[in-house]
C-alpha cells in the first residue's frame, strides 16, 4: 500500500506529466487502462489452420537468389517446389501447407525483431512486389503464408520513437518517466533506458522500446497495419511476438488484466476483417498461463511445455511425462487449438537436443506429426541441421547441398553454414529413403492424407511398458479409427496396451499399418470399447512408430 507521502509525490508527478508529457512509474501504473471487453459469443471463425503443417523460415538464411550472400523472397519462390509443389500426386516435396516468415519488415538488425517500418519490406529481402509474387506463388500451390508481427515494441530508430524521444506529437506512443524506476524485468534485466535525460521502457533492451497501448492512437494504427497486410497484400495471418507483455502495470510486466482485455477486443476486430484471418501468439510460459490467450484473444498460441515434454520423453525413453502433459493440454484448450513444435528460432536446434541421434530425431518427428495441434517445423529441422546458442548459430544458412556455402548462395554467405552441411543436406537426403528428410516427408504426407490425424479426438491408451506412448485418433464423421504407437526405447518392444473404455465398438479389428501398407495382426475390443492385452505379433522396433488403421472384421 502506498503511504501518504508517496501519494502526494504521485499527485505532483501527475501534474508535471500533464504539463510536459513525462510521467512517473506510479502514475504509469494508475493510468494503465483496461478496455471494456465486448461480447464475443457471436463471433465466427473459420479454422483452416486445423489442416495445416507450417514451416518456419528465417528469410536471411533460407536461399539467396542473387548471390549477395543474403537469403531473400525470390529465393523462397525458387524453393517452393521443395516445400510443396502443389501436386498431391507427387512425393518429392516436403508437403508443408503453411509458411511462417520471420520478420520481413525493414530493421537495423540481422534478425528483424526491431521494426522501423510496418508497411514495407526489408530491402535485404527484396521488394513489396517480390513479396506479393511469393504470396501468389504459394497460394497457387495451396500454401498459406503468415508473417511475424512484432507489435509489442519497435526499433529505437523507428520514426515513431524518434518523434516520441523528441517530445513531439508521439510522446505518449511510448512509456516515459522523468527518473529511473527501481524495478527490473522478469529475467532480472534492465527495462528502463535513458534518453535525453528521461527514461523510456523497453522490456527486451534499449534498442526495442515498448509501445504504449494505453494510447488509443497506437491501437488504432496497429489495427490498420494488420488490415493492410491482410486486405491489401494478401497474407493469411500473423505470428505475433511477445503477446503477454503488451500492456504493463507498473512493475507487473506480463499477463496483466489490461493485456488480456486488449487481446479480447483485438480478436473481435480481427474476425470482423475476416473469420479466416489467423493469429498465433508467442506466450512463452506454462500451459496454464498460455490458456487465457487462446480463449478468443488469439486463435491459438504455441505450446512450449508440449515441446519440452516431447524432447524429454524421447531422450529419457519414458512416456509418462508426455502422457501427463498431453492430458493437461487436451483438458485446457479447445480441441487442437495450439501450435506444436520441437524447437524454434530462439532455442538450441532439436538435433542437438537429441545428441545428433537420427533415430531419436525421427521418433520426435513422428510424435509431433501424429498428435493434435497445429504442427510447426523450423527450417532445416527436417535434414538434421545443428545449432546452439547464441542465436546467430541457430539461424545459419539452409543446407541445400554439399557444394560450397552449402548450396545456399553463389557468393559469400552472410554467416558460415553449420559444419555438418556436407553430410546433412537436402540434395543427398532427397534420394535416400532412409534419411531424416524422407521420414519427415512420409509423416507429413500421411498427416495430410488422414483427417483423423489432423482433427480427430485423442484418447490415451495405457501401457505396462513406460517406453510405449500410444493413443487413438478418431473423428465423429469418420468410421475408422487409428491406433498410434511410439516406442521410446532403443530396444524392440511388444505392444502391451490397455484401455478401460473408448468409442470403439466391441469386436475384432484387423490392424493395417499405414506406413508399410500391410496388414500386421489384429486387436480385440471388449465391452465399452475396452482394450486389454499384448499384440505379440506387432513388434515395435527401437525408436519405432506405427499408425495402425483399425478395420472392423
CB atoms within 10 A of CB 300: 23
Establish whether 282 is a catalytic residue: yes
List the catalytic residue out of 282, 303, 381, 382.
Answer: 282
| E strand intervals along 368-491 | 374-378, 457-461, 468-474, 481-487
DSSP track, 478-524: -S-EEEEEEE-SSS-B--EEEES--SPPSEEEEEEETTTTEEEEEEE
Distance CA 529, CA 511 (A): 16
Establish whether 29 is a catalytic residue: no
Distance CA 74, CA 80 (A): 10
503: which 3 cell numbers? 468409442
Task: Mark residue 311 as left, alpha or beta (left: phi above 0; alpha: psi -120 to 50; beta: remaining).
Answer: alpha
Distance CA 347, CA 390 (A): 9
Q: Please, which residues have CB within 8 angstroms of residue 236's CB and are 6 or more apart in sequence?
A: 48, 98, 144, 145, 146, 230, 276, 277, 278
List the catalytic residue out of 72, 156, 241, 248.
Answer: 241
The answer to whether the CB of 275 falls within 8 A of the CB of 230 is no
Q: First vs last Cα of the chain: how many Å apart? A: 71
Angle between helices 304-316 and 320-332 (to 10 degrees): 160
Active-site residues, by number, are: 241, 282
Amino acid at each position: 500500500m502506498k503511504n501518504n507521502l508517496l501519494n502526494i509525490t504521485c499527485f505532483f508527478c501527475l501534474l508535471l506529466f500533464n504539463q510536459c508529457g513525462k510521467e512517473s512509474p506510479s502514475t504509469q501504473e494508475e493510468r494503465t487502462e483496461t478496455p471494456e471487453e465486448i461480447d464475443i459469443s457471436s463471433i465466427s471463425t473459420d479454422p483452416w489452420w486445423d489442416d495445416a503443417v507450417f514451416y518456419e523460415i528465417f528469410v536471411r538464411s533460407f536461399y539467396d537468389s542473387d548471390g549477395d550472400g543474403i537469403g531473400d523472397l525470390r529465393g523462397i519462390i525458387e524453393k517452393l517446389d521443395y516445400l510443396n509443389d502443389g501436386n498431391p500426386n507427387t512425393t518429392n516435396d516436403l508437403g508443408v501447407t503453411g509458411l511462417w516468415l520471420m520478420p520481413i519488415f525493414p530493421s537495423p538488425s540481422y534478425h528483424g525483431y526491431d521494426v522501423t517500418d510496418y508497411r514495407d519490406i526489408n530491402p535485404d529481402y527484396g521488394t513489396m512486389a517480390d513479396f506479393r509474387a511469393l504470396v501468389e506463388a504459394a497460394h497457387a500451390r495451396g500454401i498459406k503464408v503468415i508473417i511475424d508481427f512484432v507489435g509489442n515494441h519497435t526499433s529505437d530508430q523507428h520514426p515513431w520513437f524518434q518523434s516520441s524521444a523528441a517530445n513531439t506529437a508521439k510522446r505518449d506512443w511510448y512509456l516515459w518517466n522523468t527518473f529511473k524506476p527501481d524495478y527490473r524485468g522478469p529475467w532480472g534485466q534492465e527495462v528502463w533506458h535513458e534518453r535525453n535525460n528521461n527514461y523510456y521502457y523497453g522490456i527486451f533492451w534499449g534498442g526495442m522500446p515498448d509501445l504504449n497501448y494505453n494510447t488509443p492512437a497506437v491501437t488504432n494504427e496497429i489495427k490498420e497495419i494488420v488490415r493492410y497486410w491482410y486486405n491489401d497484400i494478401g497474407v493469411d495471418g500473423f505470428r505475433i511476438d511477445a503477446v503477454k507483455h503488451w500492456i504493463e502495470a507498473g512493475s507487473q510486466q506480463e499477463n496483466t488484466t489490461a493485456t488480456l482485455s486488449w487481446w479480447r477486443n483485438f480478436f473481435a476486430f480481427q474476425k470482423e476483417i475476416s473469420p479466416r484471418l489467423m493469429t498465433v501468439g508467442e506466450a512463452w510460459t506454462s500451459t496454464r498461463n498460455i490458456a487465457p490467450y487462446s480463449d478468443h484473444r488469439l486463435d491459438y498460441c504455441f505450446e512450449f511445455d508440449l515441446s519440452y515434454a516431447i524432447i524429454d520423453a524421447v531422450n529419457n525413453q519414458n512416456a509418462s511425462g508426455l502422457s501427463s502433459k498431453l492430458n493437461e493440454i487436451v483438458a485446457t484448450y479447445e480441441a487442437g487449438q495450439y501450435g506444436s513444435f520441437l524447437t524454434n528460432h530462439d532455442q538450441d536446434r532439436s538435433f542437438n537436443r537429441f545428441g545428433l541421434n537420427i533415430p531419436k530425431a525421427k521418433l520426435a518427428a513422428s510424435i509431433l506429426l501424429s498428435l493434435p495441434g497445429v504442427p510447426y517445423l523450423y527450417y532445416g529441422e527436417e535434414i538434421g541441421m545443428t545449432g546452439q546458442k547464441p542465436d546467430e548459430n541457430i539461424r545459419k544458412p539452409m543446407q541445400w547441398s554439399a557444394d560450397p556455402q552449402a548450396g545456399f548462395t553463389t557468393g559469400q554467405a552472410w554467416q558460415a553454414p553449420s559444419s555438418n552441411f556436407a553430410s546433412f543436406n537436402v540434395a543427398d537426403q532427397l534420394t535416400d529413403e532412409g534419411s531424416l528428410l524422407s521420414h519427415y516427408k512420409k509423416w507429413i504426407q500421411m498427416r495430410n492424407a488422414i483427417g483423423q490425424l489432423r482433427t480427430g479426438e485423442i484418447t490415451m491408451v495405457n501401457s505396462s511398458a513406460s517406453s510405449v506412448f500410444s493413443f487413438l485418433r478418431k473423428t465423429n464423421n469418420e468410421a475408422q479409427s487409428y491406433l498410434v504407437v511410439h516406442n521410446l526405447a532403443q530396444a524392440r518392444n511388444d505392444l502391451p496396451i490397455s484401455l478401460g473404455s473408448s468409442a470403439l465398438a466391441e469386436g475384432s479389428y484387423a490392424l493395417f499399418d499405414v506406413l508399410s501398407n500391410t496388414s500386421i495382426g489384429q486387436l480385440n475390443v471388449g465391452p465399452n470399447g475396452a482394450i486389454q492385452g499384448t499384440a505379440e505379433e506387432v513388434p515395435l522396433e527401437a525408436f519405432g512408430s506405427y499408425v495402425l488403421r483399425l478395420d472392423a472384421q
